[in-house]
Structure 1
Amino acid sequence: MDLSASSVGRERLAGSPVLPSMLYVFCQVESICEFVDSRTTKLPEKDTEANKISYLIIDTVVLLVSSRKVDKMQSMQQELVRSALSLLFKVWKKVKLLRSSADCNNRKNQLQSREYEISKAIFNLSIDLASPACLEPDVVRKSIFGQAESNFENFVLAYWEKSPNLYRRKQITQNDDHVFAALNSAFNLGTAPDAIIESFIKGLVSCPAIASDELDINSFLHEVHDSLGDAIKYRQDIRVLRTEDPSDQTSMVCAREEHFFDDGIVFLDEDAFAEKCKHAFKNGYSIALRGMEFRSEKVAAIASALADLFGQPSVGANIYFSPPRSQGLARHYDDHCVLVWQLLGCKKWMIWPNPKPHLPRLYELFDPLDGTLDDNSGRVEVLHEGDMMYIPRGYVHEAHTDVGESQMNAYAGYSLHLTLAIEVEPPFEWEGFAHIALHCWVEKQKLGGSQFERPRAKEETLLFALVLHVAIRLLSSNDPIFRKACIVAAKLPSSSSCTRAHLKALRSSQRSTFDEIIRSMEKNCSFKEALKSIELAVQENNDEPFQWMSWLRRLPQEGDADLRIDFCNILEALEELVEAFSSNPEQALVGFTGFKSRFCRYVVYEDACESFETLLQMYRTTRNQYMKGMLALHGAHVS
């Protein structure tokens, strides 16, 4: 504890081997167990020696765990970590309970650890634990798309990012599907609405956003600092809303959403919050809870397996609980594909065709809906329990529980569904794959060296590569194929000859897409347009239009520093490019054309696949660490 008073001491603590021993002591001290298991909201009146030692051990464990970098946790025994996590979680809950008690001020003189320090310790300890609820991608594939090995291949080739599709489930198969059964039990679906609401409202903490390109969980923990484990926030974590009766809509204005709570409100009293949610539900409001993959181990296992199946960094999961004859979210479209899984009751969906050739991207501004969609042009489907609907990104849709008397079920019109959002981050679109392919090819040229015999050949190659990166980005605004998801890293089984045939078909389709992209690049990537956009940015001293390149810093660059592009300070490289090419643009055009031609002719698809999968694994590691940390804060490891 004395060591922690200085930065040098904290650094020594971070690498100290004493932590496993302290965790063992922490789990064995009887007075700590008595402290967390007692029902009183007050601390003992007398500071006995045992109590003082208990508080000191708790503070020391929290300090050691919080000071230790997460990559140093991997060597500790899993069972010891699980036992410590379970007890530490109970300590955290007890401290939160004591926060509002009369003894709050007195506690400061006894237990020094603050709530956020304990929550950080819980997060740190959990992120490298093996998940007991882990599912193989093949299990989720069969549950969603059916037992036949060709079903997923058919889905990818016929529907993925192209068209909605409904998967009907027979009642008899639901009981045999343990994935669906696990979801059923996770949300207490066999009970009354109030009990269902309590099953997913109680014990929630806020899930702060993690940057899309964050690959260092320690950096994330530094950013959130003292907010980890905070109470949930409205809109960030949960929405309670309803949409006005569709019959009240005019032909030019879309129905608007009405929210039960104000934006940004924080719910400190979860009992009072649960009661308000129940009241809102009875008055026609739907409850939409985000980030279920961070709150439920069973949902997390499904989301993680689905991300592996599609070869993407993560899959988000939200639940929507709607009362009878109501509409929650207003008519809208999403910037990600969704699989809607109906868990309870029925819900009627209307989906309109996507009139635009380009798929919407993550983080792009949404185009407003003018309310002029023809209701007769939409596809109507009623989802029953166990059914699943796939909706591609960009397809406008709405859903409500007014399904008609003939469709009513035993739950009197209540509906609960889970959405699994397959979010395609920029590096994992086909545009991203093209950037990776270009990067790999340039790095290979550096190792070759023979083409660099001419003076300044090395520098010109890097500058031509930078122009081509920009040209690829500009081309993606006109060619829809660049925005589609690249799933070369999809995890499919290859145990049987039949499966290998389907796997080969999917891989062949991915290779065909890459070949098409290369042809488009050779024909349409414009040096003049790319140079013009670069010159404008340099002239205005504005690198904002090129911030999309920041993720490229994650790709390894070989050679001396002068043979690397600093994607974190891209304006400096752009200035050098303008200085090199603006004086003689025609000569630069000839050089660029030759560079582009050589790349398109000699690029190696397999090299790009390998780098793509390496980058994906980096993203997946951080997302999984975040997921495990948040699950621990929701009590996932409490025995």
Structure 2
Amino acid sequence: MKKKKQQHAEAAYAKRKRKRKLKPSGSALLSLEGSDSNSIFGLLLASLSKHHRPLINKCLLTIRPSLLSQSSFTPILALLPALLSSNCSEIACRAADIVGAASLVSLEANEQVASDSQALKGLISLLESPKRKVLLSACNAVLDLSATTFGQRQLLKFYALEKLMFVFLQIFKCVESVSLWSEGNRSFGSLKIGIKEDEVSAGFVSATVTLINTCEVEQLQSIPRSLSDAFLRLLKELWTKVSDQVVMKAAVKYNEGGYLCKSNIGVSNLAEAIFRLSAYAGQLTVSMPFEVIKAGLFGTSESSFEDFLSNYWEVSPFLLQGTVNDPDVYDMFSPFKKSLSWTGCAPSLISSILHSLVSCFPIASDELNIFNFLNEVKDRLGCPIIYKQDIRVVKAEWQSRKEMHYFQDFHPGCIKEPQYFMIDDVLKCVQAYKEGYTIALRGLEFRFQSIAAVAETLALMFGQPSVGANLYLTPPNSQGLACHYDDHCVFVCQIFGSKQWTVFSQSSQLLPRLYDDLNGSDIDYTKAGKREFFLKEGDVLYIPRGFPHEAYTTSGDGSPEFSLHLTLSIEVEPPFEWEGITHFALHCWGENQKRPCFDGLNSLSHKLHLVSVNLLHVAIGIIGNLDPSFRKACLTAAFTLQPDVYNRISQCQKNYFLHLVNKVRTESRFLEVLNSIEVAVQKNEDPFQQIRWLWVHLENGTSDVYKNKSSMIEDILSLCDQHKDELEAAFVNLISRFCSEVVFEDVVTRHMLLLQKYSKIRKQYIDGMVSLHDKL
């Protein structure tokens, strides 16, 4: 027994002796600093095989600074998977540091590191470590890798984003610890997010938001819904805290004492991440039932909507007196009213409505990719509302009928662009209101989910991509906007108080088009006929586009003297006017027809055909500019109506379409078209501007009719010069074939798909913006 104990003791001593031999002396460790990379790599490889942690750490410490001068990382890359999976947290941290350092040496080095799938998987696995020191090193390495597009794609490919989101949900503790910091002038663009005394959470905010904001559509949609929803809720909690600080100008300057751990994520970065997750979350805003909107705007009878379309739509004003006291009719604005801090006095509504609003930057009407919009507003998304873009504070003088802007007069010569609305400006709005100014706020459908629900249903009813909603709060005995007319139809919905309206007869039979320049449009009040309407709470007044109108508050019938009303705007985009659908019908017919046999793509007959199609587009535009019927809204895409209602409306639409096609047949003139193109070229204008939307939607298509516009104009001029008679014959023949062969039902089917393209982007925009305003 004694002998066995002695043998064990001798074996243990020998083992410790072997370890001491392996452990280099202090001078040996210092000598590593002068060694070349190959020697260090060899020593690191040997120490890995012996699991010698001190020597591994020393090698890693020596290697990291030398990475800046390396042209290839292949040797160390081969060892990174083993180093990153080490049970020793110090080794794992230093390995992660090496990944980060190598990623920042050059674009080529970044790509080399990011291409190593095993190293990448090892790094991402560290994001689940229970040790915060390891988490921080791994997170910083992920940030370094994401400095390039390739690195971002690789991280997303191996699900780094999902891992970051999941871990951040576990480690982040307190929204109250979030503050803003600025090293500069505290302008909106310089404000960044800091987390008090929590370096790991600050790093995870930076890494997660960075990757979210680099995702493509498929990557956003592939995130598990439960994870995306949970993380979105947390981001919105952060956003509520941050946006309140922005409006209050509460940015704190970063102090060196470490009170605030700063991230590199700005306010706009956080807003973009929320916008992206919300835009692809699906059904954040849900439309209101059809019957509720129909009863609230058109009345409760079965045929009320059809009667409106037949007798008033784009023809004449229409008044529906309030149904808010009818127990059988649901007030569609009830959720909106409940969201307001209404204490019985109008000034209390101002702070309630304007508090913590963000700017809703306009999106192009023909935009088909929400990421294009996000790229345009980078570094600005999420900023406070901007004067004249989002809000106006205005009143019309009684005698001159001119509008005065409170903030221009209040800050003469000192207006900066953009003029963000901070808390001080909100307080000044209260004073402006007391002085007779109206508060006009644009884009309520982007700011209140309850309004978005109303707007979405109304858009579907009229077969349009979207409906706008503006708010107007007017003090007693005052007029906000001067007399004007709009390029869109409006439903004036009286929410609180009352208002007197005067609607004049339209000055032209041609309805104004969306985006027409209406400035300088004179209105002759002495000759125009007019109608008076007094709106009380719950009343709705429809005003067609092109009808001049003005409104002011009175104390009639003992009702409150102030007014809060919303306008719901039916904005008819070019593709959804009758001229637009005629252009679209020509395109659909061209795609569906049995193609004639040509001698080749460059043959004369083929060129004559292509040019004739485009000449007919110009002819349709000429007719549409002069004929009122081509400017009216088309409802062929209103397929959400009840089947019996839709069938009746559809038959009327078909008859109208055939009427317009016949006009194209009889009124298209070859010489008039040529002259129009020549004049446009001389003025350096685009003769095809009216169908720009068609090129946008078909630019990725297969049709060669709509390819290069400049070469198309050259072909037209060349053929006119050399083959004018042949071109005219081809043009006449094309008109005859199109008008005889076009099928209304085929056009309607394709038109509905076009509406869905438009509506998809608008829905994503609304969901993103509403989410930024939805305070949890």
**Mapped partners of 1:153, 1:90: distance in 2:** 45
* 1:627 and 2:766 are equivalent in the alignment: yes
Residue by residue, what CA displacement relative to the aligned partner does 1:254-290 show, whole Å, maximum 9, x if unpaired? Answer: x100110136655556321221000000110010000
**Mapped partners of 1:559, 1:289: distance in 2:** 40
Name the counterpart of 1:459. 607
Residue by residue, what CA displacement relative to the aligned partner does 1:168-205 show, whole Å, maximum 9, x if unpaired? Answer: 12452178414132232233445322221111110111
Q: Is contact 1:557-1:564 (8 Å) kept?
A: no
- Change in 2 beyond 3 A, CA 1:268/1:503: closer
AA aligned to 1:624 is K
**Mapped partners of 1:268, 1:361: distance in 2:** 31
Name the counterpart of 1:140. 293
Q: Is contact 2:319-2:540 (8 Å) kept?
A: yes
Name the counterpart of 2:187. none
Q: How does 1:197-208 map to 2 (within 5 A)?
A: 197-208=350-361
Name the counterpart of 2:645. 502
Of 242, 258, 271 in structure 1, the residue corresponding to residue 404 of structure 2 is 258
AA aligned to 2:719 is A
Instruction: Look up the SS of the partner of 1:572 in the other structure.
Output: helix
Instruction: Look up the SS of the partner of 1:31 in the other structure.
Output: coil
**Mapped partners of 2:714, 2:193: distance in 1:** 67
CA shift for structure 1 position 599: 0.5
* 1:383 and 2:535 are equivalent in the alignment: yes
Name the counterpart of 2:82. none
Q: Is contact 1:174-1:386 (8 Å) kept?
A: no
Name the counterpart of 1:613. 752
- Change in 2 beyond 3 A, CA 1:504/1:532: same
* 1:474 and 2:622 are equivalent in the alignment: yes
Q: Is contact 1:36-1:90 (8 Å) kept?
A: no
AA aligned to 1:312 is Q
Residue by residue, what CA displacement relative to the aligned partner does 1:103-144 show, whole Å, maximum 9, x if unpaired? Answer: 346588621211111111111111022225432344322322
Name the counterpart of 1:497. none
Name the counterpart of 1:309. 461
Of 264, 276, 294 in structure 2, the residue corresponding to residue 112 of structure 1 is 264
- Change in 2 beyond 3 A, CA 1:586/1:167: same
Name the counterpart of 2:147. 5
- Change in 2 beyond 3 A, CA 1:182/1:45: closer
Instruction: Look up the SS of the partner of 2:545 in the other structure.
Output: coil
Relative to the length of structure 2, the TM-score reads: 0.74
Q: How does 1:85-104 map to 2 (within 5 A)?
A: 85-95=232-242, 97=245, 100-104=250-254
Residue by residue, what CA displacement relative to the aligned partner does 1:327-375 show, whole Å, maximum 9, x if unpaired? Answer: 0000000000000000001100000111311000011111634453138
When the two structures are aligned, how many residues end up with a matched partner?
A: 610
**Mapped partners of 2:303, 2:251: distance in 1:** 60
Name the counterpart of 2:585. 437
Greater Cα shift, 595-604 or 606-615: 606-615
Q: Is contact 1:15-1:68 (8 Å) kept?
A: no
Instruction: Look up the SS of the partner of 1:172 in the other structure.
Output: coil
Of 486, 490, 494 in structure 1, the residue corresponding to residue 638 of structure 2 is 490
**Mapped partners of 2:149, 2:459: distance in 1:** 40
Structure with more relative contact order (C-alpha pairs < 8 Å, separation 6 or more): 1
AA aligned to 1:261 is F
Instruction: Look up the SS of the partner of 1:565 in the other structure.
Output: coil
Instruction: Look up the SS of the partner of 1:173 in the other structure.
Output: coil
AA aligned to 2:253 is D
Residue by residue, what CA displacement relative to the aligned partner does 1:430-488 show, whole Å, maximum 9, x if unpaired? Answer: 0110011000111123xx23454695433322211000001100111111111111111
**Mapped partners of 1:174, 1:415: distance in 2:** 24
- Change in 2 beyond 3 A, CA 1:54/1:417: same
Of 470, 491, 498 in structure 2, the residue corresponding to residue 318 of structure 1 is 470
Greater Cα shift, 387-396 or 611-620: 611-620
**Mapped partners of 2:765, 2:758: distance in 1:** 11
Q: How does 1:169-568 map to 2 (within 5 A)?
A: 169-173=322-326, 176-189=329-342, 191-245=344-398, 248-249=399-400, 255-262=401-408, 266=418, 268=420, 270-366=422-518, 368-370=520-522, 372-374=524-526, 377-404=529-556, 407-409=557-559, 412-445=560-593, 448-452=594-598, 456-494=604-642, 500-538=643-681, 542-556=684-698, 563-566=704-707
Instruction: Look up the SS of the partner of 1:328 in the other structure.
Output: coil
AA aligned to 2:166 is Y
Name the counterpart of 1:73. 220
**Mapped partners of 1:371, 1:558: distance in 2:** 44
**Mapped partners of 1:103, 1:463: distance in 2:** 64
**Mapped partners of 1:558, 1:289: distance in 2:** 38
Percent identity, aligned pairs only? 37
AA aligned to 1:260 is Y
- Change in 2 beyond 3 A, CA 1:545/1:174: farther
* 1:153 and 2:316 are equivalent in the alignment: no
* 1:24 and 2:170 are equivalent in the alignment: no
CA shift for structure 1 position 385: 0.5
Greater Cα shift, 141-150 or 624-633: 141-150
- Change in 2 beyond 3 A, CA 1:175/1:266: farther
Q: Which runs of 5+ in 2 are unaligned?
A: 1-142, 181-191, 409-414
Residue by residue, what CA displacement relative to the aligned partner does 1:288-320 show, whole Å, maximum 9, x if unpaired? Answer: 000001111011111111111111011110000
AA aligned to 1:26 is F
Instruction: Look up the SS of the partner of 1:206 in the other structure.
Output: coil
Q: Is contact 1:358-1:480 (8 Å) kept?
A: yes
**Computing the radius of gyration over CA atoms, which structure comes out larger, 1 or 2?**
2
* 1:602 and 2:752 are equivalent in the alignment: no
**Mapped partners of 2:691, 2:576: distance in 1:** 13
CA shift for structure 1 position 74: 2.2
**Mapped partners of 2:351, 2:205: distance in 1:** 31
Name the counterpart of 1:125. 277
- Change in 2 beyond 3 A, CA 1:464/1:403: farther
AA aligned to 2:145 is L
**Mapped partners of 1:477, 1:375: distance in 2:** 25
**Mapped partners of 1:183, 1:90: distance in 2:** 22
**Mapped partners of 1:565, 1:132: distance in 2:** 36
- Change in 2 beyond 3 A, CA 1:190/1:524: farther
Greater Cα shift, 182-191 or 141-150: 182-191
Q: Is contact 1:208-1:224 (8 Å) kept?
A: yes
AA aligned to 2:152 is R
- Change in 2 beyond 3 A, CA 1:349/1:46: closer
**Mapped partners of 2:293, 2:363: distance in 1:** 26
- Change in 2 beyond 3 A, CA 1:551/1:628: same
Q: Is contact 1:543-1:570 (8 Å) kept?
A: no
